Structure 1
């Protein structure tokens, strides 16, 4: 919302009052910006440079003059690439020479796991008044957690004049970031934005104009200096693998309230957060093993749940995901991107059993959960419920799917291939389906002898790979079988048509004397092709049409003679 309480969404019907057009001294439009305070405008770093003068104009406020602006070196984060080639930074905070009206300012909003439709405002070439473009947030990319935007139409790709413009989330009506850049080159379709929390990691002073819940509970934050604790490397490696999305989606672990293991958890949670991961703390761990450093933006919420009810935890999750009016667990299942949450001290929650029930439901809906317990027996029970038992069930279902492919669908396909040939455009599909059966036979044998260590939660990616492969082969087989069944149904229709036509055709041909033998030959040709295995439907259908055509001509001739 704006400071006056105006919902941002209403401005999609007009030019928003908080959108700034950034101009060069000669009047050229350089990009867009967001008015956060009477004297501060947020924009992309490549739009402006320290030491130069610019003009800022609120194009949505008629009659308001442009204001001179500059950017200080310590409030300018130029675009650059990190050691891996990922885009980093590209942010700037302009200072205005004179204040603009406070009622036209807006605020940024923290929103976890960006998803769904958004709108962005900018100034494409030839349109100095600006316009809205629609897009869909795809996913975070790179170590700076910039977010890809897919335009709703090719004409809505963000042009350079959109750089620095605000991105408005449709679900919450909040400004959740700014446009940075577009893909260059022919065929490029993506634009990129910096979400609010990434902006805050580079420009922490922007927090003064930011709303929305922070991802990490203050009790779970830590300094990454060596004096804060000693890194438990095996545990850090396990956590980093989970943060990268590897293994079983639910990780249950035991961490005392203090000690090296607690420090390692807090370090991982801090580094995995977009807002808290800064150049300073990543430099502090630059000499740590790479496999112990989680990616930024790897979780949506890290919460110490000691003393909290399950409803309170759900409220915190809903707040981070922007669900305001109806924070029921089942609504999370409708989100395109899954939730990733860290819940610490689960056994010390106000309702441990209810919280585990909520966790189970969230896990079934695709959420990734890191559940931390204090020393005791509770962790073992939770691990059995949320990890080991469902993992065993998935392996059992995999065996069932493998058996279905090799013992049911595969033979069913071959039985149909013995009875009917595929259509001209379906031969490749059938060959791939048959090849999939052969590969599944080998996979079934491999799975039957899979060592137990390959079935551990941390190796669940192997299970997921098998499930995906078998699922693709099953769907391909079902499609191939349905195609052949349709052709068999067509053959039965043609057989019925020939059988129904023959007695009448024979009577009509008899009226023409020696034409009975010709009718019989055509009838036998059609019947022979239809009954041949495998049946070539196209040849058989052509023979049926010749037979039926002859019968029709005979009937016409008879009518003409009479």
Structure 2
């Protein structure tokens, strides 16, 4: 992060010939600068200046039509493109170039450099990832503070992953209008998909194993049910682990490769989206839907974990536990699991990854005991456990927390302003009773892995109901404790008060009436604590005043 204290030498400021700042760019080679497509246009001349290198003269630049990719919508209405590769009229010093780095869409903070209006030297802004995987090839970023929104002068500027210090993409655009809060990034893999020549200046592991790319298996027919199941998993639907059997030849193999290709930022192109535009929409996965797809034939568990760590930018400690720090869960496709160097060791690793929130698509080449065991241990057994825990939570709400709330509401009135919370808590008990009845009588198909989103929705709702009930019970318990405190105070004060007023019979009678009133209000059910406090204060105040004729009486 020390590098954020200075202007990077690779950042380019792109201007019109008369000095108007248009945006930023990244120096990838002495004569090449990458920027956003809307910053420049073919047929125009521009000035490029490395503002981080004092004394270096600016050079002119142009962009050819075949290296300018305007923003457009693909066959599914998703936004893509908006990239350009400038060619400089004279080379800039090679020591100032940088390289792009492929990285599974960043799971932590990033920094971007650009030139907001009035700041020709540029500045760093911080941001966090909003969605690593979405409906299009652009990644949405949220500024760390409102003042760090990427203004138009950031377009084309480099985006640096704070963990690895690598340039992982460029800024494309900013939400327009008042109250806008987001900017957008094109990651390195998307850039390469539109401008293949940029691969020469790009490092980092590719997301898709070369053995899994479309073309390595003879073309087959689309297996629509299987393609639909795959696309659903890529969209993040259903149970996070999908175990399936895919031979290395045939329609299922081709369908799997098609899904992997379309879900990858680098491999998904305008040409292949056009090719599948007439396929059922439910069979087409979203772009950027996986972090890596790996053929694990012959690989050890340690080698698989190393490849995952490389894609995620985990350098020093490639352990499954590191996945807990990711803002977005790992999504990995592993093929030929039963042909790994040690399938049992790999399955043990995959179990640990699953426990750390990873989404896993596991393809076995052959049906058999290992595939069955993987399905049982990674899918069916934990799914049954989750349903059982949900049922237990519903039982606790309906049989323990609900009656506990009713008991307390019978004994004490809620504090002013808290009645809506208590009413919501009671309504949650009724809904939980209905949900428990629905689960008890619903068909088994409602609890299949592909329907797990229903389970997740129920878990979220039931968790909120439980927390609301616990909060409501806690509020009433506080009032009940206050009632006991007031009863204790009245009980302790009465003998002392009676002693002090013994010489004044009229005061004893008055004190007793106040005492009886306070006790009556406190023992009333449900007890009004505010009314009780007033009664107790009246009694205690009377007892503490100086009796007539005593020292200090007026």
> What is the CA–CA distance in structure 2 between the aligned matches of 1:459 and 1:341, rounded to whole Å?
20
Q: CA deviation at 1:73?
A: 1.0
> What is the CA–CA distance in structure 2 between the aligned matches of 1:552 and 1:99, rounded to whole Å?
93
> What is the CA–CA distance in structure 2 between the aligned matches of 1:83 and 1:293, rounded to whole Å?
11
CA shift digits 1:48-97 (9 cap, x unpaired)? 11111111111111001111011111111112345665432111111111
Q: CA deviation at 1:17?
A: 0.7
Superposition map of 1:447-466 within 5 A: 447-466=439-458
Q: 8 Å contact 2:193–2:268 — kept in the other structure?
A: yes
Which position in structure 1 is the counterpart of 2:469? 477
CA shift digits 1:512-546 (9 cap, x unpaired)? 55222222222222222222111122222222222
> What is the CA–CA distance in structure 2 between the aligned matches of 1:558 and 1:38, rounded to whole Å?
101
> What is the CA–CA distance in structure 1 between the aligned matches of 2:516 and 2:195, rounded to whole Å?
85
> What is the CA–CA distance in structure 1 between the aligned matches of 2:110 and 2:550, rounded to whole Å?
72
Q: CA deviation at 1:428?
A: 1.0
Question: TM-score, normalised on structure 2?
Answer: 0.96
Q: 8 Å contact 1:329–1:361 — kept in the other structure?
A: yes
CA shift digits 1:175-194 (9 cap, x unpaired)? 11111111122222111111
Kindly indicate whether residue 161 of structure 2 is the aligned counterpart of residue 161 of structure 1.
no
> What is the CA–CA distance in structure 1 between the aligned matches of 2:348 and 2:549, rounded to whole Å?
80
Q: Say if 1:360 and 1:558 are closer, same or farther in 2 by CA, change over 3 A.
A: farther
SS at match of 1:111: coil
Q: CA deviation at 1:552?
A: 2.7
SS at match of 2:288: coil
Q: Say if 1:405 and 1:101 are closer, same or farther in 2 by CA, change over 3 A.
A: same
Which position in structure 2 is the counterpart of 1:258? 249
SS at match of 1:547: helix
Which position in structure 2 is the counterpart of 1:52? 44
Kindly indicate whether residue 424 of structure 2 is the aligned counterpart of residue 444 of structure 1.
no
Kindly indicate whether residue 220 of structure 2 is the aligned counterpart of residue 242 of structure 1.
no
Q: 8 Å contact 1:79–1:87 — kept in the other structure?
A: yes
Q: CA deviation at 1:509?
A: 3.1
> What is the CA–CA distance in structure 1 between the aligned matches of 2:545 and 2:194, rounded to whole Å?
85
Which position in structure 2 is the counterpart of 1:300? 291
Question: TM-score, normalised on structure 1?
Answer: 0.95
Q: Say if 1:537 and 1:53 are closer, same or farther in 2 by CA, change over 3 A.
A: same
Q: 8 Å contact 1:141–1:148 — kept in the other structure?
A: no
Q: CA deviation at 1:46?
A: 1.0
Structure 1 gaps of 5+ residues are 1-8
> What is the CA–CA distance in structure 2 between the aligned matches of 1:33 and 1:321, rounded to whole Å?
25
Kindly indicate whether residue 208 of structure 2 is the aligned counterpart of residue 216 of structure 1.
yes
CA shift digits 1:161-200 (9 cap, x unpaired)? 1111111111111111111111122222111111111111
SS at match of 1:515: helix
Q: CA deviation at 1:216?
A: 0.4
SS at match of 2:363: strand
> What is the CA–CA distance in structure 1 between the aligned matches of 2:334 and 2:344, rounded to whole Å?
14
Which position in structure 2 is the counterpart of 1:492? 484
Find the partner of 1:384 among 373, 376, 380.
376
Q: CA deviation at 1:228?
A: 2.0
Kindly indicate whether residue 141 of structure 2 is the aligned counterpart of residue 149 of structure 1.
yes
Structure 2 gaps of 5+ residues are none
Task: Say how many residue pairs are matched.
Answer: 553
How much is the aligned-residue C-alpha RMSD, in angstroms? 1.8
SS at match of 1:469: helix
CA shift digits 1:131-163 (9 cap, x unpaired)? 111111121465333112111111111111111
